[in-house]
Chains A and B, each alone.
Chain A
Amino acid sequence: MKVRFVTRAFLWSFIPFALLLAGSFWVIQQRVQRTVHSGLRSSLREAHMSMARLRQESELQNSRFLRIVAENPPLKAGLQLLLVNPKSGSARLTLEDQLREIAETLHFDFLLVSNPEGAPLVGVVRIDDQLVAMGTQRMKPPQQGFFSLGSNTYQVTSFPIDINDENIGVLSIGEHFDLSEFTTPAILAQSGKVLRSSVPNASPAELESALRNCGDQAECETQVAGETYMTLAADSINFGDGYTLRSLQSVDSVSRPVQAVVREVFLIATLGALLAAAALSFFSSRSIVRPIATVVSSLRQSENTGTLPSFESNPTTIHEIRELTESFTRAATAVRESRENLQQAYVEFIGSLAGALDARDDYTAGHSRRVSEYSCAIAEALNITGSDLEVLRVGALLHDIGKIGVMDSVLRKPGKLTGDEMVLVQQHPSIGRRILEGVRGFQSYLPIVELHHENWDGTGYPLHLSDVKVPLCARIVHVADAYDAMTSARPYRFALGHEAAMREIKRCAGTQFDPEIVLALLNADQAGRLARNTRDAEPGLRLVPVPKATGEAY
């Protein structure tokens, strides 16, 4: 799989960072939640305990108050009356009436007088807001604890009725047991069976199994309907008869909102940290990659342009990248130099080949070199510089390379050529083109080699092109070639003098030559760039009649 360097740098910096952050946040959150949970639980327990203590205190107060009820002289008198007349219905009624009165006045729901042995004598109980007398024969209410009568459950406390330190009976006082008076949910159970409960959304079966988990523990934590509850057994009174009373508090409902806040805070913190990490990773990966990307883009550019890049101005101050670009620059320079050397070598080779060709004949010796010089002079007059000038220089040096393929007998023939011989000679531009075509990097010289004998008016060879259809460089070389030919001696004539040659060229401007180039030649001459003085100093050679410029300058 291809992965971009920037992606890779981003992922390598972001993923470990993100994992580390998320992991540590998770761990911290867990810890915080646990701490919060246990803190809440302990405060809950304290609240629960203090409530239980308050309840215990209020029960104590209540018991003091109830003791006073047992110290009721009329009640004592009534009990004594009944004890003296145990069979008397009126006596029973009298005591019952007193109990009713107490119950009415003090709002008790259950009042029972027993003899000192604990056998119930007379009692009244409130059922549906009506005080009714109890049938006491079969009843065995506890002295202390809970007592169920029909669907009602009463919480009962008993106190002795004494006269002068003599115990004459027991007064049991009870109230409807109502879980709603508890500030917390509560369960009343008898021998593990739930009688009453104020725990929301919990069935008795669930509560019973939760209570079983708690066993005999006074304080325990248990699950009811998926909620964690802390339960506390009310142990302030001995309920007896297997009754247990437990108050419950939901730990979850207390801790849930806090936990939610903690979770939210950590979620936001984690997301924020991840975002920050992503941004940091993004910028760091960008800053790592940017210098490399710069290098890469300049390399790609050089790939498109075909030139080797140079990093003369370092794109970065980063040490490694600079090393990279420097070594690349060194390598590129080495490659370029070697390529240039190679090119140079080719050019020199071809140039020396052309020189050697020229040197076969005394008359043409130095011709290629001179044409090259003249061409450069004209080009400078035309303000041609740089690589175009270089192409012209080398191309002019090579312009007659095709003459390799023309027989010496024709080339060196003193005197006029026949038509066939002329045809052979006129093949040299095409031959030169063929020779150089196969050489890589010489494409730019081909027009000069092939077209330096095309005339401005289209009378040249080999393609008979006219005016600007012939490339400028070929037109320049054409003029330079003609000038050199005219100012050089031939076996069959003397060399023309400079002035004469110039005149002849001027005469042929617009027919054989491009007038602008002729003008450039004149300018170059005036600038003293056409240094052909040595030849001009051979006056003896000028005796030959001036040949026609056309066709003569091979």
Chain B
Amino acid sequence: MLVILTFLPSLRAGDIEGTIIIQRKLTKRKVTPSADFYQRGAAVELGSDPDQDPLAFERSHVVIYLDGNFGAGGNNTAELNQKDRRFSPDLVVIPAGSSVSFANLDPIFHNVFSLSKAKSFDLGNYPKDQSRTVTFAKAGIVFVDCHLHPNMSAVIVVTPNRWSTKADGSGRFVLSDVRSGTYTIVAWHRSAGFFRKTVHVNESGHATVDFTIPLDEGGIVQQARQ
């Protein structure tokens, strides 16, 4: 990321809140074909699309984070399971330095790999109840796929610091404990790309940022993958 950061340390801390405004569908979601597999095995609920508000789905798939290497990274472990021939969850946000464990909960083999710049790996094929773990040291967007099932796909957003979150279904988000100062706040959506804004957290410790995704008519939509 070639963004010049303005980092002004402050003794006081506050919240950044905001709303992601998405007014049209951005993602053409691929639904796993309803192959009634395992007819002879245990019944597995397949990846039928939940009756979710598509705009809520879009909003809940927007990651918001503060750009810049400040503060300590994380060393926690997130889970990204393979279940019902889908990655679950399909979007994981971790600070750089964290690990993700990939557990196969399906009765069939899965394979987890990524060719992304931020982290490229291939965990090979492994059957049910096995798990493999990968540590992500570098910030960036990591797309995760399965060799055996090309329609399985997940994204791990590795953020440079621990101020990151996902918006909820209504588009609301809160980044708490932000020290006062001026930041570049980034919103990322898999299809719409990056949206950057400058935010100033003052001493009262509160700032508000709204993103309209995609940009209004005439605006420039940035590329999703850099």
Contacts and interface: CB of A to CB of B under 8 A. Distances in A.
How large, as a class, is the contact surface on chain B? 20 to 34
A111 to B, nearest CB: 12
B37 A97 contact: yes
A73 B147 contact: yes
Contacts of B38: 93, 97
Given A74-B149, A77-B147, A81-B148, A90 B127 contact: yes
A128 to B, nearest CB: 13
A255 B68 CA distance: 87
Interface string A118-159: 000000000000111100000000000000000000000000
Contacts of A109: none
A131 B125 CA distance: 25
Contacts of A81: 109, 125, 148
A96 B37 CA distance: 8
Interface in B114-161: 125, 127-128, 147-150
Contacts of A74: 147-150
B40 interface: yes
Contacts of B51: none
A81 B124 CA distance: 10
B34 interface: yes
A100 B37 contact: yes
A131 B109 contact: no
Nearest to B37: A97
Contacts of B150: 73-74
A94 B39 contact: no
Interface in A76-120: 77-78, 81, 88, 90-91, 93-94, 96-98, 100-101, 104-105
Nearest to B41: A93
Nearest to A103: B35
B111 interface: yes
A132 B37 CA distance: 9
B35 A97 contact: yes
Contacts of A94: 108-109, 125, 148
Residue in A97, A98, A105, A130 whose Cβ sees the most chain B Cβ within 10 Å: A97
Contacts of B127: 88, 90-91
B107 A93 contact: yes
Contacts of A132: 39
A133 B40 contact: yes
B108 A90 contact: yes
Interface in B64-120: 85, 107-109, 111
Contacts of A90: 107-109, 127-128
B217 interface: no
Given A74-B149, A94-B148, A100 B35 contact: yes
Contacts of A73: 147, 150
Interface in B9-33: 33
Nearest to B129: A90
Contacts of B33: 101, 104-105
Nearest to B125: A81
A130 B36 CA distance: 9
Tell me the dominant secondary structure on chain B's binding face. Answer: loop
A543 to B, nearest CB: 174
A101 B35 contact: yes
Contacts of B34: 104
Nearest to B111: A77
A403 to B, nearest CB: 153
Contacts of A100: 35-37
A130 B39 CA distance: 10
A247 B148 CA distance: 42
Contacts of B109: 78, 81, 90-91, 94
A78 B37 CA distance: 15
Nearest to A76: B147
A222 to B, nearest CB: 46
B43 to A, nearest CB: 14
A90 B39 CA distance: 14
A96 B34 CA distance: 14
Contacts of A130: 39
Interface in A274-332: none
Residue from B33, B34, B108 whose CB has the most chain A CB atoms within 10 Å: B108
A113 to B, nearest CB: 14
A91 B108 CA distance: 7
A100 B33 CA distance: 10
A388 to B, nearest CB: 134
Q: Which of A73, A100, A133 lies at the interface centre, i.e. has the most chain B CB atoms within 10 A of its CB?
A: A100
A88 B109 CA distance: 10
Given A77-B111, A88-B127, A104 B35 contact: yes
B36 A131 contact: yes
A510 to B, nearest CB: 150
Nearest to A133: B40
Nearest to A90: B127
A121 B41 CA distance: 19
Contacts of B111: 77
A81 B108 CA distance: 11
A77 B148 contact: yes
Contacts of B148: 74, 77-78, 81, 94, 98
Nearest to B32: A101
A99 to B, nearest CB: 9
A73 B151 CA distance: 12
B108 A97 contact: yes
Contacts of B35: 97, 100-101, 104, 131
Given A81-B125, A90-B127, A94-B109, 19 more contacts: A73-B150, A74-B148, A77-B147, A78-B148, A90-B108, A93-B37, A93-B41, A93-B107, A97-B35, A97-B37, A97-B85, A98-B149, A100-B35, A101-B33, A104-B33, A131-B35, A131-B36, A131-B39, A132-B39
Interface of B: 33-41, 85, 107-109, 111, 125, 127-128, 147-150
The 6 lowest CB-CB distance pairs between A and B, nearest first, are A94-B108, A90-B127, A94-B109, A100-B35, A97-B37, A77-B147
25 contacts: A74-B149, A77-B111, A77-B148, A78-B109, A81-B109, A90-B107, A91-B109, A91-B127, A93-B107, A93-B108, A94-B148, A97-B85, A97-B108, A98-B148, A98-B149, A100-B35, A101-B33, A101-B35, A104-B33, A104-B34, A104-B35, A130-B39, A131-B35, A131-B36, A133-B39
